[in-house]
A and B are shown apart, each in its own frame.
Chain A
Amino acid sequence: MSCIEQMKYQIHLERTSFKDARAYIEKNSDEVYYVSPGYKIFKDYYIIGIPPIAMGAKGNALIFPYTKPCHGSFVLSIDNEDSIKEINRLRETGKEKATTSAKKSKPAESSRASLTSYGICGKNEL
């Protein structure tokens, strides 16, 4: 069990496909960053997913996908001191890294993309 399940989290979407989870994050976040599978958050959770994996920030909350083999993909958010640190880490690494490639990229990389650059109008579509 990762630390995620022991933290206070909110479920936004449950038992869905990974692509739907990604679309939800892209449409419902103020900022969206893309990371590779295996990107680590909250000390010991390594993101399972199909690249590009969208990670969202909304206020101080980190919005991210969470996949379980028997239950499908979920969209969770966590809003605490650690989520602020995670969002800042995404912002910092995103400024320096190029767009994440879909295959064989390093697990720890992240990249920043504006919502509009992916053809999504973000909050306006809510």
Chain B
Amino acid sequence: MTGAKVLLMMGCPEVPIQTSIALYLSHKLTKLGFDVTVAGTTAASKLLKVSDSDGYYVKKLVDLDKTIVDIIEKRTDFDMCFAFMHNDAGMTYATTMSSISQAMMYSIIFGRNAEALAETIEFDCEKIVAQDVHNPVRLKNKLDKVMEEIMK
């Protein structure tokens, strides 16, 4: 899987753990040899850009809507997609990605309604669920296990 193209798809950054997990996952996957791109809304991207101003953890940061258009128009695609979601809109974006892309989907579901939101997902994906808002450790630990499985 080394060299595979991975998309981290950030949604609304209202729930704090998204930014830290996106930075962590981007860095971890890059160190494992994956070609990682992070896509976000304007606000999510600015949070990431300020947190990682020298681009140490995130090498490629792109606009979410433009990336979706590029996939639809077949200008790009990915092998894996980690879709962050804590609300219905995030789940709707992830469903769209599942429909337009050939990527293997991983849904990162967090926030106070994470478990209920996870049940609404209708597309094929691996679900990583943590009912957390501020503390990213439980979600980080679950993602470490997912990355271990991917590297097997």
Interface residues of A (CB under 8 A from B): 2, 17-18, 36-38, 40, 46, 48-51, 67-73, 102-105, 107
- A-B contacts, CB under 8 A, total: 69
A18 and B92 within 8 A (CB): yes
B41 and A73 within 8 A (CB): no
State which of B12, B41, B69, B99 has its C-beta within 8 Å of the C-beta of A103: B99
Q: Is the interface of A mostly helix, strand, loop or mixed?
A: loop
Known: A69-B89, A72-B89. A36 touches B68 (CB 8 A): no
Known: A37-B95, A38-B100. A67 touches B72 (CB 8 A): no
State which of B12, B43, B92, B122 has its C-beta within 8 Å of the C-beta of A48: B92
Complex CA gap A18/B100 in Å reads: 18
| Residue on A nearest B90 in the bound complex, by CB | A69
A46 and B88 within 8 A (CB): no
Beyond A38-B72, A69-B90, 4 additional contacts (C-beta under 8 Å) are A36-B99, A48-B68, A50-B91, A73-B88
